[in-house]
A = this chain, B = another copy of it.
Amino acid sequence: MSTGNDNRSLKQKKILDCALKIIRDHGDAGLTMRKIADCAGMRLSNVQYYFQSKDDVLAAMVSTYFGECEAELTQVAHSCESLGRPERTHRLISEVLKHGTELSDMCRVFRELWAISSRNDVVSGEMTTYYESLCRVVSNSIVGTEGSSRQKARVGSLLLPFVEGYSITASSLPMTVEEVADMLTELTLGLMDN
């Protein structure tokens, strides 16, 4: 009885993974049910059996993907837990900036999702929720549970925009990733002094 459901989940996951790959490489315009079927090694009709419409694929894909991204960041934050605040901060910042340095797979996907979210309410909602939890994870990780809510708000409101914007502008900046990470660490720590 389990194999049936497992197989179903597996196929659905496969479809969503393929959709993500295609979106990442060919954008919104390039995502078609047929390409998904090709990539997943199944028939078009079979993809449509699991997801009635293209929009259904998109919605499921986005939801899954944000979940995975949040889990990844939570994991990174957890791995910094034992360090002191300055090292913890620097480590976390370096880690998240790294994604934006070269045009990573994750960056490409997010660029597409930002575009889609301007004209898709479901995606837009998921995105807002995702960033809200991201903001919480980051500020809690750096400020810690003992910090004031004002400190958390300031740290989150500095880091979240910066990190996302860095993934867009990195190649145009007159500083290296390391220099930027150092500067941002310094600024973040400064936010908590006063």
- How far is B161's CA from A170's CA once the two chains are assembled, in angstroms? 8
Task: List A residues at the B interface (Cβ < 8 Å).
Answer: 25-29, 103, 107-108, 111-112, 114-119, 128, 130-132, 134-135, 152-154, 156-158, 160-166, 168-175, 179-180, 183-184, 187, 190-191
Q: Pick from B28, B171, B174: contact of A115, CB below 8 A.
A: B28
Write out the residue numbers on chain B whose beta carbons fall within 8 Å of the beta carbon of A103: 118
- How far is B173's CA from A128's CA once the two chains are assembled, in angstroms? 9
- How far is B160's CA from A161's CA once the two chains are assembled, in angstroms? 10
- How far is B26's CA from A155's CA once the two chains are assembled, in angstroms? 35
Contact status B165-A166, CB under 8 Å:
yes
Q: Pick from B25, B29, B156, B173: contact of A160, CB below 8 A.
A: B173
Contact status A169-B161, CB under 8 Å:
yes
